[in-house]
Amino acid sequence: MASLTGKIAWVTGAGSGIGQAAAIALAKEGATVVLTGRRRQPLQQTAATIKAAGGKADIKPGDLMKAAAVAKIAKEIAKKYGRCDILVNNAGLNILDRSWAKLTPAGAEQVIDGNLSSAFYCTSAVLPMMRKQKGGVLIHTSSMAGRNASLLSGPAYSAAKHGVVAMSHTINMEECVNGIRSCVVCPGEVATPILDKRPVPITPAERKRMAQSEDVGDLIRYVACLPPHIVINEVMINPTWNRGYVANLQRGKA
């Protein structure tokens, strides 16, 4: 029997990238996966891939930047399944005009709501279910920019992802007595569609050297499959060919 047979996993940002890879990996372990994102069509493609492999997937589109939309989806999950065992808080975004010289209040609001507020809303929505069942695991996609402030990612994204890291740790501090575990994943550069929003375009050759969505998806699967008495509080995952390290080496030789 697969490790997650009978478990209900809610994956946000499941239409592409890390969210899609995580959803497919969790389904292969036997979980019934609830897929959420703003656009229905990408979610349908993820669901089709899961079902073609014999897995179970349910589509629940919604704008996670709106607390009411999150609450509605969580209520539907509770009504249909009676539980939520795994939350993968992966939905996120960035913008082109991200430097302080170009960042507007509207841009900052979009980035903070898309990366931090949405994670808080989803977390708040599933915790009552997890407390009731005396267990559950939350896995949040932050970033290396959530550990080291990054001009490359921009101030709003860095601030939001730092917030996700802090949020995850406080869940463990408060909810460990309820058997609830929280892990924050901090990836370096991953070849996902969010790279299309970089001010300086990323070449196909550079993308091939980066971590891939499937790499992070498999890490999320591993965390979700851990026994209930173990939590990985925080984990970093990076490409071996780390462009930041390589740039520092080259500057050191100059």
* Alpha carbon 201 to chain centroid, angstroms: 23
Of 10, 197, 192, 202, whose CA–CA distance to 110 is shortest? 197
**CA–CA distance from 60 to each of 19, 23, 40, 169 (Å)?**
14, 13, 8, 28
Contact of 87 with 16, CB cutoff 8 Å: no
Contact of 56 with 50, CB cutoff 8 Å: yes
Q: Which residues have C-beta within 8 Å of that of residue 243, sequence separation ≥ 6?
A: 189, 206, 209
Question: Which one from 121, 157, 222, 245 is the annotated catalytic residue?
Answer: 157
Is 157 considered catalytic here?
yes
Instruction: Give me the active site residues, please.
Output: 157
